[in-house]
Amino acid sequence: MLVTEIYRGKRLIVEKKTVTLPDGSTRERVVIHPGGAVAMLPIEGDDCYLIRQYRFAIDATIYEVPAGTIDEGEAPDETAHRELVEEIGMKAATLIPKGYIYPSPGYTDETIHLYEARDLAPSDEHQMDEDEVIEVVKVPIAEIRRMIDDGEIVDAKTICLVCRCLR
C-alpha cells in the first residue's frame, strides 16, 4: 500500500493511500487520522447536561454532549473525567462505558468512546480551552428525545449517547 502524508498538525494527520478493495481493485483514497475521542452524557436525577457550542466548520452553535480528544498516553476514561471538568465544571464519581462509534468511517478512522456520567459534583478546576465558546445547559431527560425529533439536537455523538443511555 502506497501512503503519502498530505498534512500533519497538532492533532490531525491527513494521508493519501492506494488501497486494495475486497474485490481486488485498487483505488486512491484520502484518510484523516484525528486520534481518539470521548463523549459523555452527564445525568443528574431527571436532568442531563448538554453544551451549546459554536462549531466553525458548520458556522453554527449546536447542542452537544461534553466531548474531547484523547491526549497521548491518556486512557479514554481519564479523558472523560478531564473533559467533564473542563467543559461543564463537574466531576463524575461514576463513568459507565457505553461502547464506541465510528462517526464518519468513509474518510476517517476516528473512534469516539461513549460514557454515561453519574454521581456528579461541582469541580473548582473548571477551565475551558481558550478556543471553546461553550454554554452549559441543563435539560430535562423528558425533553431530550423531543429535541432530537424536532431537529434541535443534530450532533451524531449526542444522538448515539441518548440512544444508548436513555432507552
- By annotation, the residues acting in catalysis are 130
What pLDDT score was predicted for residue 119?
98
Reading the chain (167 residues) residue by residue, the pLDDT tens digits are 789 999 999 889 999 999 999 999 999 999 999 999 999 999 999 999 999 999 999 999 999 999 999 999 999 999 999 999 999 999 999 999 999 999 999 999 999 999 999 999 999 876 656 667 899 999 999 999 999 999 999 999 999 999 999 98
Q: Identify the structural domains of the chain with CATH numbers, from first to last.
A: 3-32 (no CATH), 35-165 (3.90.79.10)
* H runs (alpha helix) in the chain: 76-88, 141-149, 156-165
pLDDT at 159: 98
pLDDT at 1: 75
pLDDT of residue 133: 80
pLDDT at position 124: 83
Helix-strand-coil split of the chain, %, nearest 5: 20, 45, 35
Q: Is 82 exposed, middle or buried (0-12, 13-18, 19+ CB in 10 A)?
A: middle
Cα–Cα distance for residue pair 145/7, rounded to 1 Å: 39
Q: Helices 141-149 and 156-165, interaxial angle, to 10°?
A: 130
